Amino acid sequence: MATFQRARSEEQREIRQQAILDTATAMLEEMPVSAVSLNELSRRVGLAKSNVLRYFESREAILLELLDHHRRQWTDELPAQLDAVITPDAPVRERTQAFAAVLTRSLAQHRVLCDLLSAQAGVLEHNVSAEVAARYKRSALGNVAALAALARRHLPELGDRADGLCAQAVMVTGAVWTHARPSASMLAAYEADPSLAALRMDFTATLEEMLATLIAGTLARAEG
């Protein structure tokens, strides 16, 4: 555990902020978003909680910063993955399935991103100032636009509907992630009554099917 003195320059302040973000990232590799507390984060980074709040206004502000970072990192990886799989002159149905499959496989490898997305609206966007919220949303719009550009590149039939589709795809990802990780009591209920197992979701299979259906529906509406 590091022990820091108060930052006295902008460079020192940036070092403190990055140390806080790096520590929070390490915690998210060990535990779900719900278990990340400001007290434990402060202890691990070597700062009093009041000092951590000098750099970020709340726990949620820290996690929103990380969500933005992980979304940009994920989006940056997609072009090469999509180019390697999708054939430009393939039928639209084939390209749709391939696009959904690539997004799903990629997201499955970004566990922290999915966990943060699942907590975004219900947790992370609360207990932050309007300034932090606006800064995050502007960046989120940029991330959606980048994903939509990829969607239009491989599925030009989407046209202007690509942006809305991509925003919905991100929301669907967070929802499926939550439902694919049932509580211990739900797992016990599934084991006690196998008939309930039909309600249990596999993240990869469910997300790929939902994304493919979402894309197909959007294409159908675009044709209409």
Predicted confidence at residue 141, as pLDDT, reads 96
Tokens matching residue 214:
């979402």
The per-residue pLDDT for range 103-139, each reduced to its tens digit, is: 999 999 999 999 999 999 999 999 999 999 999 999 9
pTM of model > 0.85:
yes
DSSP code, position 86: -
Q: What domains are defined for the chain?
A: 1-56 (1.10.10), 58-223 (1.10.357.10)
pLDDT at 197 over 50: yes
Distance, in Å, from the CA atom of 178 to the CA atom of 190, rounded to the nearest integer, reads 17
Mean pLDDT of 42-67: 95
pLDDT at 2 over 80: no
Confidence of residue 13 (pLDDT cuts 50, 70, 90): confident
Long-range CB contact pairs, 57-60, < 8 A, 24+ = 57/128, 57/129, 57/132, 58/127, 58/128, 59/127, 60/123, 60/124, 60/125, 60/126, 60/127, 60/128
Predicted confidence at residue 199, as pLDDT, reads 84
CB 211 within 8 A of CB 177: no
Confidence of residue 7 (pLDDT cuts 50, 70, 90): low
